[in-house]
Chain A
Amino acid sequence: MRCRIPFVVLMTSLLAVAACGRETQTGAAPQQPSSVGEGKATGEITVWAMGGEGENLGRLAAGFERENPGATVKVTPVPWDGAHNKLASSIAAGQTPDVSLIGTTWMGEFAKTGALQPTPSSFDRAAFFPGLWATTEVGGTSYGVPWYADTRSLYYRKDLAEKAGVRPPATWDELKSFAQALKDKGGAAQGINLQAGGTGAWQTFMPFGWQAGAELVDGEGKFTLDTPRMRTALEYYTSFHRSGLSSSDRLVPGAQVADFVSGKIGAFVSGAYDRSVILKQGGPEFASKYGVVELPKGERAASFAGGGDLVVFKNARNADGAWKFIRYLSRPDVQAEWFTIQADPPAVQSAWQDPALAKDDFLQVFGRQLKVAKAPPAIPTWEQVAAVIDGGIEQAARGTASVSDVLRTMQASAASIGTGN
């Protein structure tokens, strides 16, 4: 009982502090350019970029500074781990930079805080892959520009496939027999590894969902997780786990590649980023032992579209310079240059004709895949719903609940979380 008074005091002071923060956020007068101004950028532009992107962005910024002698770009690299927390806290405190890189699946959440500027209409949306542009659109308004792309295709062991006498699959049925052959005749313990739950499992599963013709939300923005098409997809996906073609154990992040290189895993679904990891672990001679193909088609071809978007904050001190810097980063030649530095696949379609990319057969697979790649809905609650789907996939893959039960619970949980609109 003695504690009650201090608690009340404490809580009221907390609320008071929280209220302060909100004031500063809406207090800043937002400038919203409808188009990026002409002329050169000037002044300091502060940029947050995560991980390796942050480590290397300075090299691109040098080119921008040469073209705009009056401007300096100050890049702060932020760890991916914790970036979401940092952005959320900084938005609350109004302590944001001019520009930040944002994971595509966070767009809905951060746009909804009102801290992001709408994209000036002078950006040409048709220049980008449609699935990527969709990640910037929240409630019909675009709040950023895609910077680099991520999509998922099928990695497979070429040597094991040759040994087993099979060709890479183009349809769902072929994928099944392909995995079976890699296991039975190729000697892989897992013909294919399909992520059986854990954070981000939905990114491996949803390509199959979209291929089956399922959607995450309908035209009215209501979740459609418990549909016959979604059931077809989840049944197909988990049939690999039930028949022992894929392990139903969760792997440590990164273990997939290690087991792929050692030959325990015959195939897996992943993004272009795994090429450098594979070659680092397998050595240069491993390059001839594996291949990558577009994901097999179900009713239609589809994959996951993600990557990173660039946003400008409402209380940016140098909004004009910020948008000019983003415009520079989305130029096809700069996009191609960025690929040679960081190996991030370009988000701008015409950048793929650049010689550095055009002659890269491996990468072109992902380029074709991107044309059919789809993004999850950009809603504030997406990360929560994604966690529900991840949990459902784990239950279904382990067989602790039937596919129809899993889908029913998934739909109910998603509906109770809501779309946050």
Chain B
Amino acid sequence: MTAKGRWWVYVVLTAGLLAVISPFVWMLLSSVKPAGEILGTPPTWLPGHVTGEHYRSLFERLDLATYLTNSVAVAVAVTVGNMVFCSMLGYVLAKLSFRGRRLLFGLVMGMLMVPGMVTFVPLFILVSNVGLANTYSGLILPYLVQPVGVFLMRQFIGELPDELIDAARVDGAGEARIFARIVLPLCGPALATLGIITFLASWNNFLWPLVVAQTEDMYTMPVALALYSVGQNSIDYGLLLAGAVVVVVPVLLLFTFLQRHFTQGIATTGFR
């Protein structure tokens, strides 16, 4: 590619980057603006007057340690669960042949097509009838295996060469060993993708934790933020933005840090 052509690529990429990043920058800057300035028309970028009042009220009024612990516990459990179980089921659906495999895969696809809102109330009835309302299990179990993850892993594992698995089988490895020692190590990129998607979905989940939690000490961050910033007739945008920064920044840092591992994972697989 010529230098001139590359120049255009950078312009397009910069424009794209600005479009993606500007809401975050505005969120960061506005979280230190006084309440009146956040909603002023026309909207401004730089705070005319810097204040820490929103952060102060966030740390004073909210029991952040509890909410963050709940959020992390649920998100990590859901993410690990999905990475383990979705890849197991994905392996079975992709590489093993048995009666009813198509039906099983059809079931997974069917679940993929039913909108979450349709199953929401029945799911909650089920969870509360088995006594899991207001427990971590109630928050985690329904999300432990997601059909989209199974689908993703099945597609990825399906592309791995059969020869590798057959060779291991000839060497006398059982299915569990093949899965753990051969298939899983090759799934790096897919697992990374699945991990990001599940972690973010769980971290941002609002309605399910809201409904399942029956006491304030079971609330996750998004629920607690909504509780303290949204009134019946008014919204405390300052608190909401400060809270959003606290919610988003750890995740951004985590992914910036982990990104190296993701790219490594792709580089070292050597297949595809």
Contact = CB atoms under 8 A, between A and B. Distances in A.
Interface of A: 2-3, 5-7, 9-10, 14, 17-18, 20-21, 24, 50-52, 54-55, 74, 76-82, 85-86, 88-90, 92-95, 97, 103, 150, 252-255, 257-259, 261-262, 264, 270-271, 273-274, 277, 280-282, 308
Interface stretch (B72-80, B106-114, B178-186): B106-114
A273 B231 CA distance: 10
Interface string B60-83: 010000000000000000000000
A282 B125 contact: no
Given A78-B227, A79-B230, A253-B234, A2 B106 contact: yes
Q: Which one of A3, A5, A79, A97 has the greatest number of beta carbons of chain B within 10 Å? A: A79
Contacts of A17: 122-123, 125-126
B124 A308 contact: no
Given A17-B126, A21-B122, A258-B40, A9 B107 contact: yes
22 contacts: A2-B106, A5-B103, A5-B106, A7-B110, A10-B114, A17-B126, A18-B125, A21-B125, A24-B125, A54-B227, A89-B124, A89-B211, A90-B211, A92-B121, A95-B124, A95-B128, A253-B234, A255-B41, A258-B36, A277-B35, A281-B36, A282-B36
B158 to A, nearest CB: 17
A262 B40 contact: yes
A157 to B, nearest CB: 15
Interface in B210-243: 210-211, 214-216, 223, 226-228, 230-235, 237
Given A81-B226, A86-B210, A264-B41, 5 more contacts: A3-B109, A55-B227, A257-B39, A258-B38, A274-B233
A58 to B, nearest CB: 10
B213 to A, nearest CB: 8
B35 A18 contact: no
Contacts of A20: 125-126, 129
Contacts of A77: 216, 227
Contacts of A274: 233-234
Interface string B33-62: 011111111000000000000000000010
Contacts of B170: none
B227 A6 contact: no
B24 interface: no
B110 A10 contact: yes
Contact of A79 (B102, B119, B227): B227
B191 to A, nearest CB: 26
A255 B36 CA distance: 9
Contacts of B41: 255, 258-259, 264
B126 to A, nearest CB: 5
Interface string B191-217: 000000000000000110011001110
Nearest to B117: A85
Interface residues of B, number: 49
B233 A2 contact: no
Given A6-B109, A255-B39, A280-B35, A79 B210 contact: yes
Contact of B216 (A50, A76, A94): A76
B120 interface: yes
A52 B122 contact: no
B129 A24 contact: yes
B141 to A, nearest CB: 15
Interface of B: 34-41, 61, 102-103, 106-107, 109-111, 113-114, 118-129, 133, 206-207, 210-211, 214-216, 223, 226-228, 230-235, 237
Contacts of A94: 128
A88 B36 contact: no
Nearest to A9: B107
Contacts of A86: 210-211
A79 B215 CA distance: 12
Given A79-B226, A79-B227, A308-B232, A88 B121 contact: yes
Contacts of B111: 10
A254 B235 contact: yes
Contacts of B223: 79, 82
Contacts of A252: 39
A259 B232 CA distance: 20
A77 B217 CA distance: 10
Q: Which one of B39, B111, B119 has the greatest number of beta carbons of chain A within 10 Å? A: B39
Contacts of B215: 74, 76
Contacts of A18: 121-122, 125
Contacts of A9: 107, 110
A89 B121 CA distance: 6
A80 B230 contact: yes
A5 B102 CA distance: 11
Contacts of A88: 121
Nearest to A148: B232
Contacts of A2: 102, 106
Nearest to A255: B39
Contacts of B103: 5-6
Nearest to B223: A79
Nearest to B228: A55
B221 to A, nearest CB: 12
B113 to A, nearest CB: 8
Nearest to A74: B215
B175 to A, nearest CB: 25
A195 to B, nearest CB: 12
The 3 tightest CB contacts between A and B, nearest first, are A281-B36, A79-B226, A21-B125
Given A17-B125, A89-B120, A82 B207 contact: yes
Contacts of B34: 281
